[in-house]
Chain A
């Protein structure tokens, strides 16, 4: 489709953009508002179960809380580096924009790995979406926990890939392919992440379609819009951390 706006004769004045800002940003805000309701519903479902069941399991002991606190630190720090990337993009400093985006991706990857370790530990202890070893009368604990945290982990993974595309463009595709291949070969077939790693393959296909069909040089606006998404996943974790982990401590 042509990038040039069609100018009809006689229509000199165009309607100003919504809220006086560019449409990409408005689009991302509207998507994030709708995503807020998705996470809101999941958080409310979890909290409903937590309140209505006096026997709600409290499996998160010292190690889990320390791990989740570290994960929170990673996400908060990644938000700071994301802001620094946006500031660098606004002053047209391309190399620092890329560097800060890569640091943000590093924090995001650390978060995913720590979360994966936490999940693996819970799975080893016998927790599935349908049952848990701590409270047989509360089978929905596993289902609500895995849905909520899994949905968030998926968002963080998509966020890391999104930032990778903005930072490295086509150079990111072989890196993503290698990550998928290494992850698939290294993760044991018995692990749930052996299947979950295929999210990277799907993302690779989508990213390749986007990058080859509409190649462009991502500007400060694109970096800012990707930053909005990244801060949103941080924001959601600010509610998951206290509701899921801190409210179910066993210390």
Chain B
């Protein structure tokens, strides 16, 4: 389960480099403003989810834990966060239909 020490430090430097690279891509996209806001939001969120997966998997060592722990914790929190998306429908309604 805990084979972190044996795997060496190199992988953590690679993950750190990957995170910095993804951050640089985000900043360039924001500087260039190549996408309209909604598409920009979608792309930035996809990049953020990739970054968070790297942090949770490697830095927080979740990938070394047992399968039951990974699935129980991640599925529960993802479902709860997805439930919050219900409010976005109302935000789009205000934009397109106005406040009534």
A residues adjacent to B (C-beta < 8 A): 19-21, 29, 33, 36-37, 40-41, 44, 47-49, 51-52, 54, 65, 69, 72-73, 76-77, 79-80, 82-84, 86-87, 90-91, 224, 227-228, 231-232, 234-235, 238-239, 241-243, 245-247, 249, 251
Contact = CB atoms under 8 A, between A and B. Distances in A.
10 contacts: A51-B95, A65-B31, A80-B13, A91-B5, A224-B61, A227-B60, A234-B55, A241-B23, A242-B26, A245-B30
Interface in B51-77: 51-52, 55-56, 58-61, 65-66, 68-69, 72-73, 76-77
B55 A41 contact: no
Secondary structure at the B interface, as helix, strand, loop or mixed, is helix
B66 A251 contact: no
B5 A90 contact: yes
A40 to B, nearest CB: 5
Nearest to A49: B91
A235 B66 contact: no
A37 B90 CA distance: 20
A87 B23 contact: no
B84 A40 contact: yes
A246 B44 contact: yes
